[in-house]
């Protein structure tokens, strides 16, 4: 299994957790990829991890050669890439030269044209599943899996607020995300800081921000300004937590998108889903079907104080918070079990091994893929995006593809 990045993010966390589930089921699992914070998680789970010789540049001849050596040395039966970059290294590496069956998972909001079309593809939303069925024959749906044993209300056994300097009387709004510009994430966090700053003048609300990234300093500065104006610590910025479960458990309301949104729901917390361009939308019986179909990313644009209106209603109504928290928890229980996702993924591997395309079909598909990659790189060059096309670890519920 080959995640493209190992920074904290939904796609690669899913990759590691599913790799662990496969190992628990008795399969031999090897992870391959760049260095990053999640390598600690890999080690804690007892998984084998091999560093790629080149990072954040795809396709990479060095990585292809390393993958080919690994497949031969270990007798690998199937290779699995997460997102478009690893998919290309695998397609033009061991798949082309050795005939090794491959699987690609795309947890971005769109599937790039240059993802190989002749081998199994896994997507994370029903919308993408339906779209891709019209373009390729072997599409599977695995919605964002959540470990429902580890992610559950009250799992820590102690008051989770203590470590964050929060007290029982606080009404806590929490956001756990990468502090980057992807899908306007940092804009949403800044919006939340300003909104909670205004609401705190009449409510005991506090905001807990967990995460790091390129915009971390901007977030800390905005939080300091709000706290300074209020004369008290309304906003608590923790930095990155490799295990953020205590933050979800401490919350009365969770803000977020993608896998982070689902983890908040797993803890039985009412959810407000962040969207692009300032949009915010609460999870309710009216909106749940739309999220289940399109993914856990809200719509936009927002109109200035959308979040303030939503939060004010939730802060003033504990009974409504409890009702919506139960809705979220039940939705995750019904649809997003990690154990069920692992069983589905094992079936995808069996399909990849049992139904191999002919050499002629593979050659045609890879020629088409090569043309699409060339078009993609030309588009990057024209838009002056660095040719590496780095992706910071998205998922179908919170990141777009670099395509």
Closest of 26, 13, 11, 23 to residue 87, by C-alpha = 11
pLDDT the model gives residue 67: 98
Say if residue 361 is in the same domain as residue 330.
no
The verdict on 366 and 283 lying in the same domain is no
CA 342 to chain centre: 17
Residue 157 lies in a domain: no
**Do residues 187 and 266 both lie within one domain?**
yes
Domain with 116, as residue range(s), is: 2-145+338-382
Q: What is the pLDDT of residue 386?
A: 53
In a domain, 394, yes or no: no
CATH number for the domain spanning 38: value is: 3.40.50.2000
pLDDT of residue 208: 98
Residues paired with residue 140 on neighbouring β-strands, in sequence order: 122
Together in a domain, 66 and 49: yes
Residue 151 in domain = no
Residue 156, domain member (yes or no): no
Residues 326 and 350 in one domain: no
pLDDT at 390: 45
Task: Looking at the structure, tell me whether residues 214 and 229 fall in a common domain.
Answer: yes
Under 8 Å CB-to-CB from 235, ≥6 apart: which residues? Answer: 193, 196, 197, 206, 207, 209, 223, 226, 227
Is residue 198 exposed (0-12), middle (13-18) or buried (19+ Cβ within 10 Å)?
middle
Please check whether residue 361 lies inside any domain of the structure.
Answer: yes
285 & 358 share domain: no
Say if 387 falls within a structural domain. no
pLDDT digits (tens), the chain, 403 positions: 999 999 888 889 999 999 999 999 999 999 999 999 999 999 999 999 999 999 888 899 999 999 999 999 999 999 999 999 999 999 999 999 999 999 999 988 889 888 988 999 999 999 999 999 988 889 999 998 999 988 999 865 578 999 999 999 999 999 999 998 887 889 999 999 999 999 999 999 999 999 999 999 999 999 999 999 999 999 999 999 989 999 999 999 999 998 899 999 999 999 999 987 778 999 999 999 999 998 898 776 665 568 999 999 999 899 999 999 999 999 999 999 999 999 999 999 999 999 998 899 999 999 999 998 888 888 877 876 554 444 444 443 343 333 2
Residue 120, helix vs strand vs coil: coil
Q: What's the Cα-to-Cα distance from 100 to each of 77, 154, 246, rounded to whole Å?
A: 7, 45, 42
Q: Could you tell me the pTM of the whole model?
A: 0.81
Q: 401 Cβ partners below 8 Å, 6+ apart?
A: 83, 84, 106, 108, 109, 110, 111, 112, 391, 394
Question: What residues pair up with 186 in beta bridges, in sequence order?
Answer: none
Our count of domains for the chain comes to 2
| pLDDT at site 387 | 47
Same-domain pairing of 245 and 266: yes
Same domain (yes/no): 328, 345: no
Same domain, 188 and 326: yes
Omega of the bond leading into 301 within 30 degrees of 0 (cis): yes
- Considering only the C-alpha atoms of the chain, give the largest distance between any 2 of them, rounded to a whole number of Å: 70
- Residue 207: CB atoms within 10 A of its CB come to 28
Torsion of CA 117, 350, 334, 282, to 10 degrees: -30
User: Per the structure block, which two tokens stand in for 117?
Assistant: 């079309």
User: Which of 335, 367, 391 finishes a domain?
Assistant: 335
Q: Assess if residue 28 is contained within a domain.
A: yes
Residue 395 lies in a domain: no
Spatial distance between the Cα atoms of 265 and 274, rounded to a whole number of angstroms: 14
**One domain, residues 49 and 191:** no
Task: For residues 127 and 224, state if they share a domain.
Answer: no
């Amino acid at each position: 299994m080959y995640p493209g990045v190992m920074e904290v993010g939904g796609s690669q966390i899913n990759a590691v957790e599913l790799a662990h589930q496969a190992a628990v089921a008795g399969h031999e699992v090897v992870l391959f990829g760049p260095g990053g914070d999640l390598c600690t998680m890999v080690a804690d789970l007892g998984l084998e991890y091999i560093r790629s010789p080149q990072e954040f540049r795809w396709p990479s001849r060095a990585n292809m050669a390393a993958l080919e050596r690994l497949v031969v040395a270990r007798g690998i039966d199937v290779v699995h890439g997460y997102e478009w970059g690893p998919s290309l290294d695998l397609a033009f590496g061991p798949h082309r030269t050795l005939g090794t069956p491959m699987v690609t998972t795309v947890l971005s909001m769109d599937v790039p044209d240059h993802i190989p079309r002749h081998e199994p593809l896994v997507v994370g939303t029903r919308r993408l599943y339906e779209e891709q069925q019209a373009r390729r024959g072997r599409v599977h749906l695995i919605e964002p899996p959540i470990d429902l044993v580890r992610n559950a209300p009250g799992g820590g056994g102690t008051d989770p607020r203590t470590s964050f300097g929060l007290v029982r009387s606080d009404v806590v709004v929490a956001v756990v995300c990468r502090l980057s510009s992807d899908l306007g994430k940092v804009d949403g966090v800044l919006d939340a800081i300003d909104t909670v700053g205004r609401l705190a003048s009449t409510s005991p609300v506090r905001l807990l921000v967990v995460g790091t990234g390129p915009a971390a300093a901007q977030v800390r500065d905005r939080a300091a300004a709000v706290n300074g104006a209020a004369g008290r610590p309304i906003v608590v910025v923790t930095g990155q937590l490799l295990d953020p479960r205590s933050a979800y458990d401490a919350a009365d309301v969770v803000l977020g998108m993608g896998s982070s949104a689902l983890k908040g729901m797993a803890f039985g917390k009412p959810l407000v889903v962040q969207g692009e361009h300032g949009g915010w939308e609460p999870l309710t019986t009216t909106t749940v079907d739309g999220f289940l179909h399109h993914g856990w990313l809200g719509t936009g644009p927002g109109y200035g104080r959308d979040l303030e209106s939503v939060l004010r209603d939730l802060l003033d109504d504990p009974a409504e918070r409890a009702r919506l928290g139960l809705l979220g928890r039940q939705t995750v229980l019904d649809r997003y079990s990690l154990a069920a996702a692992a069983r589905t993924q094992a079936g995808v591997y069996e399909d990849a091994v049992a139904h191999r395309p002919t050499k002629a079909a593979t050659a045609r598909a890879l020629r088409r893929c090569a043309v699409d990659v060339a078009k993609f790189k030309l588009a990057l060059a024209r838009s002056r995006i660095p040719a590496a096309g780095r992706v910071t670890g998205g998922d179908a519920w919170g990141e777009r593809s670099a395509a």
